[in-house]
Amino acid sequence: MDKIYPDSEVELNPWLAKHYDKIMNIASLGFYIRFIHKAIRSMEISPNDRILDFGAGTGRNALLMNKYLSKKGEIAGLDISDNMIKRFKEKTKKFPNINIKNKRIDQPIDFEKKYDKVFISFALHGFPHEIRKIIINNAFNSLKEDGEFIILDYNEVVLNETPFYFRTIFKAVECKYAFDFIKRDWKNILGSYGFKEFEEKYFFLKYVRLLKAKK
C-alpha cells in the first residue's frame, strides 16, 4: 500500500486496519480499552450533540460516544481507509445516527452542516505540521459557534527528560512527525486559529492529553 505520507504511522496497511482493535487491546494488556472509555467520558458529550469524528477508524470510538447521545444526536465519521470504513460500517450498522464517509481531512473541506464537537484521536501527530494546519482549519470551519475541537493525543513533553521506558517505546513505535508534535505549544497554535477556553484532561502520567478548545 502506497502511503500519502511515507514517514507517517497513522496510515495502516489492510491487515493492521482489519485487526486494529485486537492489536491495541493485546499490546496494551487491556489498558487501552479502559483508557479510551475514560477519555470519551471526559468529552462531556450532551445528548443532542452532533459530532464529527476525524479519522474515525474502526468505529469503536463512535460507539462509545454514541452511548451518551439521544436519538437526536449524530456522529459523522471521516476516514480514507476502505478497510477501516468497512469495519466502521459493520460495527455501527444498528445505529442509524452513525455514518461514515470516505473523505480526506488533510485537504480543505466544504461542510454542509455545522457540528457541536469535532473529535480526533491519535491521528494529528502523524501528519506533517503544514498538513496539521489544514486539519485544524477544517475543524474550525465545521464547528458551530461555541463548538469544541477535542484532540486526544500525546501531551507536550521534552522527550530526553522523560523516563527511559517512555523514551524507548516512543522512539521504537513513532514516526518522525510525532517527535515534532510533542515539542509544540498546541494551545498557542489553536489560539492562532481563533480557538479559546482550553480544558485539559491527562492520562498515563500526563504523557497523553485530551485537549478541548472552544470556537
1 part of a folded domain: no
The CATH number of the domain where 197 resides is what?
Answer: 3.40.50.150
pLDDT, tens digit, for every residue of 53-96? 999 999 999 999 999 999 999 999 999 988 889 999 999 999 99
Residue 33 or residue 198, greater confidence:
198
Contact 115, 144 (CB under 8 A): yes
Report phi then psi at 172, rounded to 5: -75, -35
Any bridge partners for residue 211, and if so which?
151, 200
pLDDT, tens digit, for every residue of 161-213? 999 988 998 898 888 999 999 999 999 999 999 999 999 999 989 999 999 99
139 part of a folded domain: yes
Q: Which residues contact 160 (CB under 8 A, 6 or more apart)?
A: 167
For residue 28, give its domain range: 14-214
69 part of a folded domain: yes
205 part of a folded domain: yes
41 part of a folded domain: yes
2 part of a folded domain: no
9 part of a folded domain: no
Q: How many domains does the chain have?
A: 1
CA distance 92 to 90: 6
Q: Which helix (H) or strand (E) holds 74?
A: strand 74-79
75 part of a folded domain: yes
Q: 10 Å Cβ neighbour count for 105?
A: 24
